Homo-oligomer: A and B are copies of this chain.
């Protein structure tokens, strides 16, 4: 494990050194975790020419965490009076004679940045940009294995829910029950707030559960995910409550299913992200659902639930092998409800069997 973290840091070091910087300060939590392992909340990582330092706020007691950072790292806990770890890191880098420091300008606030400059006025700061996020896009098999286990956990939790009685229960309760089952099956927690949407709420992206109860004839859409060793996956399904779905429900379901399948089938190394979005969206557009469509039809997952790449009309770039993404089109008809179908898949070359589906719960329209 330690070697893996060291390799990741070496790749980053090569990058910022090539850009002429003596040191880099990584502050975005998921990036710190990627390079240093599980670290206390608020920790920052300082990469120097040679030695690396993890600076953590407060005494160890105050900042518990699951797991421990990479043992090869020097770890320093600040005492209460020592302030912001990012500022302390810049001070340390300046003390070591560094003349330039690359920082994550998309994460550091203006106020922290100013404090860094006042503590270390001779240290030139530059933008590290999304260098670590870029490195995180393509996953190794260790990371994919965490996502795969997380997906299995989510499939299990969802499967158990489907065997229970649903009519009369509220969205809130169903969401809580799913989250309990995720943890039962070994998740660290939900990967994001579990969404359960019934009747007119169904099909809405990231719907927050309400006190509405499941009724006969409802669409029920559910979106959940497990966090396993820090990695977050996502699955979304829509069901119909009662013995016989209405015609409009079957039609809408078939349409979203067709759109989602088109997206899944378009996943391949070298495929443009916008093309995957387009083939998904086209199916819905052609049926007259152009308006009100979500701004994206899928996104990367990993240490965060919403990572690069985005599958969206304006997305740049192409997919690589070993990139896990969601494919999650949906249609919501105001006042009536709708359908969302959401899988997590890993992009794989044709020779390896094509996209690997991690979330394997059936996508048949189940009447519950």
Contacts and interface: CB of A to CB of B under 8 A. Distances in A.
Q: What is the predominant secondary structure among interface residues of chain A facing chain B?
A: loop
Contacts of A207: 64
A312 B208 CA distance: 37
B206 A292 contact: no
Interface in A285-321: 292, 294-296, 312-314
A91 B205 CA distance: 29
Contacts of A246: none
Contacts of A61: 204-205, 292, 294, 332
Interface in A47-93: 58-59, 61-66, 79-81
Given A108-B109, A111-B106, A314-B80, A62 B176 contact: no
Contacts of A364: none
A261 interface: no
Given A65-B208, A292-B59, A295-B58, A107 B105 contact: no
A320 B80 CA distance: 24
Contacts of A206: 62-64
25 contacts: A59-B292, A59-B295, A61-B332, A62-B206, A62-B294, A63-B206, A64-B204, A65-B208, A66-B208, A79-B295, A80-B295, A80-B312, A80-B314, A81-B314, A105-B109, A105-B110, A105-B114, A106-B109, A109-B109, A109-B110, A173-B180, A173-B183, A176-B176, A176-B179, A176-B183
A213 interface: no
Interface range, A side: 35 or more
Contacts of A173: 180, 183
A180 to B, nearest CB: 5
Nearest to A66: B208
A254 interface: no
A113 interface: yes
A195 to B, nearest CB: 9
A105 to B, nearest CB: 4
